[in-house]
Amino acid sequence: MAHEEFDPFATTTGLADDLDITIRNFRFGLDPAYTNQDDEMTLTGICDFATDDPDVGTNGTIENQFLTIGKGWEAIDGGKAVQREDGRPKGFNNSTYLGAIIDACLALDENKMRSRMEETKLTPMHAGFWEGLQLHMEQTEYTAFDKKRTRLLPTEVKGWGAAKPKAAKKAAAKKVAAKKAAPKVEEEAEETGPTLESLKAAIIAIAKTSEDDGGATFIERCYSEIDGLDASDEAMALVDDVESEDSIWQTVGATEVE
């Protein structure tokens, strides 16, 4: 794999500068770690940025990112959505972090963003709209209170859960490699492992109870919860396919989620 030539004169922010992320655990709420100038907790968007790099954040996840939404909002449905306190239809201020992310995403791929709303009937004011969104993010300079700062902003909108996370692929590959290198007695034990029918039943069960986020959570749960999945190409194909009309995800996905 080709690598960019190292430039010893290039400086960095000391933060995650350039990475692919998946938005996870999005909710609206209050957090003691996020307060205003009067040290009062302020309503904000909160989520994790999941990456494929175990050296980033905590085991590859930048946890509890505060995506500010500004004043005048109230959480509803347990933090699954927000609405204006005055009841007026109004979007997030473009000076807020979530507002800046929305503007960047629209500039990059407005059709993909609006299609998400049409398909799910969710708006950016719903946590579910953001769950599973895959973005390429880079540290971008902006000005706040007459000071230059940087923050991660999208430079590519990849979509919602269309591909199996690389971390899951790497984990599966490691398991397969370990099995190939194991003693012969383990190979013999493997022959009595789970059948395709039992794997399929487990996949269906997870599909029914996974979030309706385009299949992203479904895929991650399958690879982390189903023993023996990585040893069956047929079973992995059933998990990876979240787009075909007759796929497991499209036929039974999220059917038992309240």
Tens digit of each residue's pLDDT (9 = 90 or more) over 155-207: 999 998 644 444 444 545 554 555 454 444 344 444 557 898 999 999 999 99
The neighbouring-strand residues paired with 18 are: 138
Higher pLDDT, 179 or 80: 80
Q: How confident is the model at residue 68 (pLDDT cuts 50, 70, 90)?
A: very high
Give the per-residue pLDDT at 112: 95
Report the first-to-last Cα separation within the chain, whole angstroms: 45
Widest distance between CA atoms in the chain: 69
Mean pLDDT over each residue of the chain, to the nearest integer:
82
Closest to 23 (Cα-Cα) out of 162, 129, 149: 129
pTM here?
Answer: 0.61
Residue with tokens 């009937």: 121
Give the per-residue pLDDT at 109: 96
Give the per-residue pLDDT at 144: 67
Closest to 46 (Cα-Cα) out of 31, 61, 60: 31
Give the per-residue pLDDT at 240: 84
What tokens appear for 169 in the block? Answer: 């692929």
Give the per-residue pLDDT at 164: 45
What tokens appear for 166 in the block? Answer: 């690389």
Instruction: Determine the Cα–Cα distance for residues 160 and 162; give it in Å rounded to an integer.
Output: 6
- The mean pLDDT value for 146-154 works out to 85
Closest to 96 (Cα-Cα) out of 125, 58, 138: 125
Q: Which run of H or E residues covers position 179?
A: helix 166-181
Q: What is the pLDDT of residues 85-129, one digit of tens each?
A: 999 989 999 989 999 999 999 999 999 999 999 999 999 999 999
Residue with tokens 């770690």: 33
Residue with tokens 């959570």: 217
Give the per-residue pLDDT at 126: 96
CA distances from 232 to 32, 88, 225, 240 (A): 45, 53, 15, 12
Instruction: Determine the Cα–Cα distance for residues 65 and 129; give it in Å rounded to an integer.
Output: 16
Give the per-residue pLDDT at 98: 96
- Contact at 8 Å (CB) between 254 and 178? no
Give the per-residue pLDDT at 177: 54
